[in-house]
Chain A
């Protein structure tokens, strides 16, 4: 027996590295997740999100670095770590050839529940996740959303204090996604810590207390949602000029008035800039008219993940470090 886990940090990872052949999928990732919080790992496909989660969940051995779950080392005390975590993978980790009930009963039995207890637990979870009607059907006929729900239900059997969710809503329709978000929020209210990965800025915004942005195996930014938003600009402004030759002049004005750096799409004669303060747009438009620059189009867009990346990685390494320092 080992003393029960306690303390502030659910996850502490230092310099995690995983290489597949020539590809450094994860290249020195640090993560700190506070107990009782939702932590979002945001990044595009292939950024190293899944690999990071798999290392934290004892499914992959790190090539370098270390990670602790509630103070227990993932490599040296993997059996203990497994008693503290629940993992819901990107692809449903449930048995396709069995029914939902059978799946949950088998996982319950493996987790040490008795026969009657397992049956009861399976029933409770199926009810909780709205799967009672489909309980006896084979999983082959399950929709993507049902499968995810069952997968999450299976992760909750042992009521683990830390739950890993790898892209929990990718491929789900908007309604199912909202349901999933509700479930995740409820989980945290009851004392669980959740570490989730996502490709959607909106999802991280909705759920996470803190976010790490990960790109090509590196954490490029870390902080609270607000800190991150402030660094990116909540929305971005797109300005297209009518006369192409005025593009550079207009860009200068945009950067001066908004006080930010911008990017160009020369083919479309469009300037894109983060818009931290909507009030400044008035000043910008006034200034543009004063200089006689005609606009073809102007729009405001919520930042997409691409823009977050453009902004964060475009700043270069030094400012990335600043963001990280602010975050900690």
Chain B
């Protein structure tokens, strides 16, 4: 082995003022690869995304089915999209919690000292977590299918709906990533995130028809972006159509990323 070549200091080298877009994407993908390796090493952290869709789908369908739609069968097209959105978006909290834990480790010091795009460690972690959303999505639909859910939209529209939920969850996870970066402890991230997410998912049309709610609540439920996402998923899976709800859900997702990604990166750079 030629030690000289390993140890030589590279004195003459081209230097860049900042990472290019191409480099930024490459760095983020490498960081995502790191995230996937970590999931592979500690598969027990996938417990929540495997068990939650199964338990929640069973529980909510049998609890609310009779009361809301008369019977379980006719409740399935309502509840499966609702539970899908609730579960997958709920999973994105873990992203913030794990980011907090990860950032306390020494390896983040090295990431900070490397000439890489500042956003890469964050974007990579968030990107790797889409695997979690995918698992939760597939399991929720599979549970629905087992319980007798046969979406009229067909498999292609179900896949599209799944993709939509994954994209939106990824966007929402930037909010929790922001909490993860500014909070002091992982448990406080969990706490704040639940506080935000609980009203958002339950004060929506995910489980119960909006018409049954008081007027003032209907107003909130109708502006709640989660409602639009749930409606968009129902349109796609049950009818195979895409309407204004889909557009609103996507615009909402873009807006969240546009606001929270820069905020998170700035907070991350400040926090040392």
Tell whether A and B belong to one assembly. Answer: yes
Chain A interfacial positions (CB closer than 8 Å to B): 1-5, 54, 57-61, 72, 77, 79-80, 82-87, 89, 91-98, 102, 106-107, 109-112, 124-125, 127-128, 138, 154, 156, 158-161, 186-187, 190-193
Inter-chain pairs besides A5-B11, A83-B15, A83-B16, 19 sampled, C-beta below 8 Å:
A5-B15, A57-B113, A61-B272, A82-B115, A95-B38, A95-B105, A97-B38, A98-B41, A102-B37, A106-B37, A110-B30, A124-B5, A125-B6, A154-B110, A159-B8, A159-B10, A161-B9, A161-B10, A190-B4
* Bound form: Cα–Cα A159–B109 in Å: 18
Contacts A110-B116, A128-B6: A80 and B110 contacting too (C-beta < 8 A)?
no
Instruction: Please state if A60 and B8 are interface contacts (CB–CB under 8 Å).
Output: no
Instruction: Please state if B8 and A80 are interface contacts (CB–CB under 8 Å).
Output: no
Instruction: For B23, list chain A residues within 8 Å (CB).
Output: 112
Find B112's partner among A59, A102, A106, A112 (CB 8 Å cutoff): A59
Instruction: For A110, list chain B residues within 8 Å (CB).
Output: 27, 30-31, 111, 114, 116, 120
- Chain B, 44-101, CB within 8 A of any chain A CB: none
Instruction: For B16, list chain A residues within 8 Å (CB).
Output: 1-2, 79-80, 83
* Bound form: Cα–Cα A159–B41 in Å: 30
Q: How many A-B residue pairs have CB under 8 A?
A: 136
Find B1's partner among A3, A58, A87, A124 (CB 8 Å cutoff): A124
Instruction: For B108, list chain A residues within 8 Å (CB).
Output: 93
Secondary structure at the A interface, as helix, strand, loop or mixed, is: loop
* Bound form: Cα–Cα A57–B108 in Å: 13
Instruction: Please state if A80 and B4 are interface contacts (CB–CB under 8 Å).
Output: no
Shortest CB-to-CB span from B114 to chain A, Å, is 6
Contacts A98-B37, A128-B1: A190 and B7 contacting too (C-beta < 8 A)?
yes
Shortest CB-to-CB span from A120 to chain B, Å, is 11
Instruction: For A107, list chain B residues within 8 Å (CB).
Output: 110, 114
Find B6's partner among A86, A98, A156 (CB 8 Å cutoff): A156
